[in-house]
Each structure stands twice: as structure tokens, then as C-alpha cells.
Structure 1
């Protein structure tokens, strides 16, 4: 979804690598429906005893209990629909009620100096939730050219992620039409709260 540079994960510690993994997992699950290989891999995951770890175990169980076709249908109902899905996973829409509004312009302004650019083959605006999850991962591991300090990560998170994604993930977790994606919403909600708390320390 975004243009990325070659990078080495050896430059970040284990805690940051774990953050990258969660951001990239959320990005992949929200970018497009899970295929059979991803569902199989998710079904093998095990979480620890933390609340987030338990949510990962719930996701693994949900992945094992669903099919690629069911996942695709659920994704389409939630995010695509006939004209629009039940949820609209874009920052501008969540913040203003309309697409392509000022929050998107502000995001683009902040992306440029960080070396972040949308891939030419992507049609969605950059404020899609999956793109923002990818951006956060890239700021942490340097896949946009440089590992960003915590201060830069926090500024971007506060401006473009914390402003609306916790509401989106809560809506996804509570959506009556969600089955597999309820667990995705739960992980997102919990992880956004963990990130918010960590940045405030």
C-alpha cells in the first residue's frame, strides 16, 4: 500500500519489533480479506496471559473456525458494501463525516518529510486504517528510510492514529455484522490503548 525501502530489523529492540508485528498484522487484516495461507498461519498463533495476548488467542480461534470465503464475505459487508460498507475505515470520514477532508491533507503534509508515499497502484486515500498501521510500523523499523525517534512516532500517532482509530476499532469489535473481525477490532482497541499509555509515560 505504501512505498518502502529495504531495512534491517536488527537495529530495533525486541519490544519495538513486537510493536511492528502487531501494527503489520492489523494492516494486513484490514487492507484486504485474509487468504487461506494467512488464516492457517493465524490459527497457529498463541498469546500470553495478558489482555492483548488473550485477544490474540481469540483471533487464532476465530481464524481456525472461519473459511477464506466467509472472511471475504464478512470483509465486503463491513468495509466495501454496495457503495459503502457498515464501517468506513478512513480518518477523514471518522473525524468529519466526509471523505478527502482536512485530516487527509494534514496527513499528507506530515508524510512527506518522513519519506512516506502511497504506492502508485493504490487507489484508496492514505488515511485508510491499514495504511496508518503500516506507517506506524515503518516509523518504528525504518522501512521508510530511517528509524524515527519516539518523539516523532508519538507526534504522528497523536495527530493521525489516536485521533480516531480507537473509535474505529471499538466500533469494529462491537459490530453486530462482524464475526471473525470482532477479534481484529479487539486487538486493535487494546493495542491502541497500550501505545497511547506507553507514549504518555
Structure 2
């Protein structure tokens, strides 16, 4: 996505949320490269919240990232998301919400993105309803510089309309695939994070 700058203020819970959305977006978009795997080996060792709901799935993801290799991850990603003809798993909202690619959910998403002043990076192949791009929008709505756009109400609205409606189904689809190993851990972490986010917005609406 083409967005405005991201804030670089000192660490906070909100920045941690934004960074987790960014990490998950990266993992759903492409297999990890050597640099990312190295980061998990030497730096990413603590759960986002010790003893919290995300601790076990986070530790499982860290373990899976440390066990894989660039080559193994690339092969798994291709087997799941890049099959010849029809991939095993479609990581797009339109597929899960409408049953086909490039359907009404994508059009609605594009309309909502335009209202936020966000546009698609034309150099990217994936459409805006790919999970990676949806998560990147959430990252921006949390940590972007424009308070008129990057605020809690916009986060809540976008999450309810474009994340909560389908991401669980995607994660379940990945979990059902025999070829999924690393991405099973990514899916479990993603699903747990969506639960935490949904509960937080429930409290906001109470």
C-alpha cells in the first residue's frame, strides 16, 4: 500500500501492536529471507505479553522460524499459496467472503481505502484484499502520523469490516493443509492476535 509516514516514537503498546501487524503482513506476503530468520534466531525471544493469551502461539512461531530454512520456507510457501493453476490456499478476502477472486468485498475495500487516502502500490502484484495488505493498513491506522486517519475509531471500523470478517477462515484453511508447518504456526499466531484485537474492540464498544 502507499501510505503516509509511520511514527517513530518510543516503545508503547500501540507501537507493539503496529509492529506485530507489520510482521504478520510480511510473513503472509512472502517466505522469510535469511535476514528475517536471523532476527528470530538472535533477537525475537520474548512473548509480546508474558503469561498472556499470545504467549504460547508466539513461542510456537519463534520455534518454527528457528527450525526452518530459507529453502524449506520457500517450498512450503509455494506449495500453499502458489500452486500451478489453483493454489491450495487463497489469502484474499474476496475468496472467503464471496467465493471468488476480485469480487464485491474487494470493491468495498478499495472504496474504504480511498476514503482513508490510501492507494495501491502499482508495483505489487497482489490485490488490496490480500491479508498482507489488510494488515499493513491496520499497522498504518495504529502508527501513522495523520491523527485524522490513524486513530482508534478508524482502526475499529477497518478491523470489523475487513479483518474480523474473514481472517479466521483463512487461518483454518491453512491449518487443514498437510503441507503447512511454518505457516500453521503463522496461522495460529494470526488467529490468536485477531481474537485479542476483537476483544479489545468489544471493550471499546461496551
Sort the TM-score into its range (normalised by shorter chain).
Answer: over 0.9
Q: Name 1:9's counterpart in structure 2.
A: 8
Contact 1:30 1:129 in 2 (8 A): yes
SS in 2 for 1:3: coil
RMSD (Å), alpha carbons: 1.7
Task: Report how many residues are paired.
Answer: 199
CA distance in 2, matches of 1:62, 1:141: 28
Q: Name 2:80's counterpart in structure 1.
A: 78
CA distance in 2, matches of 1:177, 1:3: 33
CA distance in 1, matches of 2:79, 2:105: 25
Q: Name 2:24's counterpart in structure 1.
A: 26
More moved, 140-149 vs 188-197: 140-149
| Structure 2 residues not aligned, in runs of 5+ | none
Q: Tell me by how many angstroms 1:8 deviates.
A: 2.0
More moved, 111-120 vs 165-174: 165-174
More moved, 117-126 vs 142-151: 142-151
Q: Name 2:151's counterpart in structure 1.
A: 149
Q: Tell me by how many angstroms 1:4 deviates.
A: 2.5
Q: Tell me by how many angstroms 1:144 deviates.
A: 7.1
Partner deviation per Cα, 1:138-182 (whole Å, 9 max, x = no partner): 111116785522121111111111110111123223432101111
Q: Tell me by how many angstroms 1:96 deviates.
A: 1.0
| Structure 1 residues not aligned, in runs of 5+ | none
Contact 1:5 1:145 in 2 (8 A): no
Q: Tell me by how many angstroms 1:15 deviates.
A: 1.3
More helix by share: 1
